[in-house]
Amino acid sequence: MIPRLEGMNMQKLKQVGVTSIGILLMFTPLQVLADDHSEQKPTAVGDGGAVATEHPKASKAATTILENDGNAVDSAVAAAATQGVTRPFSGGIGGGGFMQVYLEEEDEFVVIDHVIETSENFGPTSFINPETSDYYPAEVRQTSGMATGIPGVIKGWEEALEEYGTMSFSEVLEPAIQVAEEGFAANENFIREIEDNLEKFGLFESTKEVYLDEDGNVPEPGTIMENPDLADTYRLIGEHGSDAFYEGEIAEAIIDTIHNPPVVDDPEHEILAGNMSMDDLSNYEVLPRDPVHVNYRGYDVYSSAPSSSGVTIGQTLNILEGFDLDNSDRTEGMHYFIEASRYAFADRDEYLGDSRHTEIPVNGMLSKEYAEERQQNISDDSATLGQVEPGDPWAYNDLQTFAEEDEDLVEADPSSETIHLSVSDRDGNVVSYTSTINLMGGNGMVVPGYGFLLNNGFNSRTATDSPDHPNYPRPGLRMITTMSPTIIMDDNDPVLAVGSPGGGRIITTNLQVIVNHLDFDMSLPEAIEDQRLSQRNLSHGETQYEGIYEEEYGTLFDELEEMGHGFYPDDAVQGISAVAGLEFMSDGEVRAAAEPERRGGGSAMALDVEDIEDPDPTTVSSIIALVEHFEKEGAFANEEASHSLITHLNAVSHYENQEDAEKVVEHMEGGCKDLLNHQHDNDLISDEAYETLIDLTDDLIEKWQ
């Protein structure tokens, strides 16, 4: 049955998934291009929704959706799409991710797994040079089409919106489209990332056109960066959904780029093509999953399921729970934190991977009994030396089928760059979302004419001696990833939402923020600003610290070194990771918090309930969304009928954006109504859909008259 929208009732509109962001669609250039730095604040507090991202344009996109009655899922997709414009070297539609959603009304958690996946032709010999029988060098693998996994972002966003959102794809993509078209001022961090990738970006003509100047050099800070190709790509996706990306012209362009990389003349090294097919793209599926869960000192901690590293978040906390951090000083607390991380990482690298291909002892790894066994290895006053061996969680699991492996079979830290955002809405829904194109800048290839970078997620997937290993190269693999978006609850109330980028340091960063907040009573901004330590059980056994902040660690190193701990610096100017999180306070307000400095600083914005407007249903976008709904319900005789209406309405929306009342009325009266009448007279539209759309059209005409 097709619902009637009698009397322009907004609740009816929302029941069929139709909302309007008319205010959003009528941004002026001044509003879109407001100075980024004046908007960039690392903390914000409100009771009507809160957002933490890595860029103020992304935060503004998210809050605009919330202001116009979108929910946290709508807002998160809008922010992610905008980060794909302003932070394209860490994430975008050429990659994948994990989105965790808390639905307040249902009191339910869901994880939307849309990470990249290997093609049907990928395997253990994919990176072996047939002429030498040796592996291609790292620079060849990292800039290759072969390293590109099937992107999952667009299907992930679509799944999130269709199942849990309230707005259409076209509506939530509109802010990103505007930023891509109008441009944004490149900050020093954006320019630094281009400099760091100059050699890679200089290999591909399409990438040079988007991110380098006319002479092939790095642009200056403050340069207005525009990406009209990406704006057009978002429009195609908004109009046609994921089919445009996985089966249509965008899919064809992706495959052509992978098979025929847009290489410059005389590249510095060989560029290896890939063998992904159109079938690989069209067969990609989103995997809705339950989160993993542990209880830590009375708090319920929910994180993403394998192949992510949410299990490692839970296991580390279980181990830490055996130690009294309340009565520990800072040095003792960090000693236990380092040691718990060390043992949890040993198990992570041994057991975690794609659960569709390998049995994973999740229950055992997350059991309190197994945590107690691992705690026995940790001394109160001395560090564990060197790399530790994995334990045996199978003894605490219902099923034991896994074969033991050599600890060095698979690289422990396969990816180094991601991006994260956190969003809540006034109704209590929460999203914690991490996505990636793997290494900074992905494989360096912008899809020509479409404006987005492709991932290089499988550049490190080389064969090992054991095909039983959970991350052995094979077709259809979603390999282990460090992403671990996390939401923490106290009874039925959210306490914290947190996530970050940074390869293996994602896990330790998320954990340190959680421990700082729950155990050391830091506010979320304090927990984020604190100096970081990252122990990942690497072969040398040492713990990484932030070299740029070395003086701020004070005497901590000396005291921990006396216990036997060793340290080595991360010398990156941007520090370790970049947290974007939410702190839910006892008075009902939510504090959004992002980095004050790392990776150029993040952006936090929040709303008060009175800032949120009831959306105006009489806009062109609301009519388009309703046509899309009726199309799905089978109210049109064929696609041509619905698409002709949408095409006409998209043209009218231009005049609506310009506030040209005369043109809106002229085209709605002389175009839209005539087209609807023609379709009704020729039985191309159902009576109910026709009457509803005619009513909306008349209301819109009356409004503009």
What angle (nearest 5°) sits at the alpha carbon of residue 36, between those of residues 32 and 41? 120
436 assigned binding-site residue: yes
Taking the C-alpha atoms of residue 390 and residue 374, their distance in angstroms, rounded to an integer, is: 10
Q: What sign has the CA pseudo-torsion 292, 53, 523, 612?
A: negative
By DSSP bridging, strand 49-53 and strand 493-498 are unpaired
Q: At 224, is the secondary structure helix, strand, or coil?
A: strand
φ, ψ of residue 458 to 5 degrees: the values are -115, 25
Taking the C-alpha atoms of residue 436 and residue 456, their distance in angstroms, rounded to an integer, is: 10
Structure tokens at 24: 């959003």
Closest CA to 608 of 625, 588, 578, 579: 588
φ, ψ of residue 224 to 5 degrees: the values are -80, 115
438 assigned binding-site residue: yes
Three-state secondary structure of 686-699: CHHHHHHHHHHHHH
Active site residue 418: yes
φ, ψ of residue 346 to 5 degrees: the values are -60, -40
Task: Classify each residue of 552-587 as buried b or exposed e, where b means 16 or more C-beta atoms within 10 Å of its C-beta.
Answer: ebeebbebbeebebebeebebebbbbbbbbbbbeee
Task: Classify each residue of 381-398 as buried b or exposed e, where b means 16 or more C-beta atoms within 10 Å of its C-beta.
Answer: eebbeebbebbbbbebbe
Q: At 166, is the secondary structure helix, strand, or coil?
A: coil
Interhelix angle 330-351/368-375, rounded to 10 degrees, is 120
Q: Are 176 and 78 in contact (CB under 8 A)?
A: yes
DSSP characters for 647-679? Answer: HHHHHHHHHHHTT-HHHHHHHIIIIIHHHHHHH
Structure tokens at 533: 């330590």
DSSP characters for 553-570? Answer: GTTHHHHHHHTT--EEEE
φ, ψ of residue 253 to 5 degrees: the values are -70, -40
Taking the C-alpha atoms of residue 453 and residue 278, their distance in angstroms, rounded to an integer, is: 18
Q: Peptide bond before 126: cis, by omega within 30 degrees of 0?
A: no
Q: At 575, is the secondary structure helix, strand, or coil?
A: coil
86 assigned binding-site residue: no
Give strand ranges (E) for 372-416.
none
Q: Which of 86, 418, 618, 692 is catalytic?
A: 418
Q: Are 121 and 258 in contact (CB under 8 A)?
A: no
Three-state secondary structure of 512-555: HHHHHHHCCCCCHHHHHHCCCEECCCCCCCCEEEEHHHHHHHCC
Annotated binding residues, written as ranges, equal 436-438, 481-482, 503
The residues that are catalytic are: 418
Annotated binding residues for L-glutamate, written as ranges, equal 436-438, 481-482, 503
